[in-house]
């Protein structure tokens, strides 16, 4: 049982590390794209649409803006134009939200893994009780303590990931709103 308990701790730590790596990458990615979307929107709002190309780099927002500029230059009929604009928007939205499912999964799975560790810790406690009876309280308290650590670790990982997930969703919504404004004003 001790091995299963250690495996559940290892799974939680691995999930936490994966979530941390994804979080760092997504925060950097969303920061770059939020700045770029604001720059493009400022250029459009100030009537300097010709300067938009100066802000375009190799990121999701720039790719979508370049695609929209290209679509507008083609003078398509309104239905085709609308379809292509919508496709470019959906593609950018998909790129902005990629890998967030990992954080969402860790938010859900970490408390369950903590609960699993708690169950294994309690089972270890009962095994210690059956071997030594009530004469060895340290083995009982050790198992219960370990079980509580598993629960605390799982909940802590889930809470941290939930905060980051919500932060990133909020950022993505702001980027998407800026892109919608660009589409309407460009």
**Rounded Cα–Cα distance for residues 139 and 60 (Å):** 56
**Rounded Cα–Cα distance for residues 42 and 136 (Å):** 71
Average pLDDT, the chain: 86
Which range has the top average pLDDT, 109-113, 147-151, 177-181?
109-113
Return the beta strands (E) in the chain as ranges: none
Q: Is the model's pLDDT at 110 over the cut of 90?
A: yes
Cβ contacts of 122 within 8 Å, gap of 6 or more: 143, 144, 147
Ramachandran region of residue 82, left (φ > 0), alpha (ψ -120 to 50) or beta? alpha
Please compute the mean of the pLDDT values over residues 139-155 and round it to a whole number: 83
């Amino acid at each position: 049982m001790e091995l299963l308990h250690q495996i559940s701790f290892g799974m939680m730590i691995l999930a936490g590390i994966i979530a941390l790596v994804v979080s760092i990458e997504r925060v950097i990615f969303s920061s770059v794209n939020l700045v770029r979307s604001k720059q493009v929107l400022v250029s459009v709002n100030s009537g300097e649409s010709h300067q938009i190309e100066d802000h375009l780099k190799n990121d999701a927002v720039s790719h979508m803006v370049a695609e929209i500029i290209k679509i507008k230059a083609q003078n398509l009929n309104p239905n085709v134009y609308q379809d292509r604009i919508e496709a470019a928007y959906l593609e950018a939205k998909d790129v902005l939200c990629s890998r967030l499912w990992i954080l969402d999964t860790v938010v859900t799975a970490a408390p369950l893994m903590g609960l699993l560790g708690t169950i294994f810790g309690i089972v270890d406690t009962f095994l210690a009780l059956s071997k030594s009876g009530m004469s060895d309280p340290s083995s009982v308290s050790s198992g219960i303590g370990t079980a509580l650590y598993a629960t605390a670790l799982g909940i802590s990982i889930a809470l941290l990931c939930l905060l980051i997930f919500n932060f990133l969703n909020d950022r993505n919504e702001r980027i998407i709103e800026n892109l919608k404004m660009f589409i309407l004003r460009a």
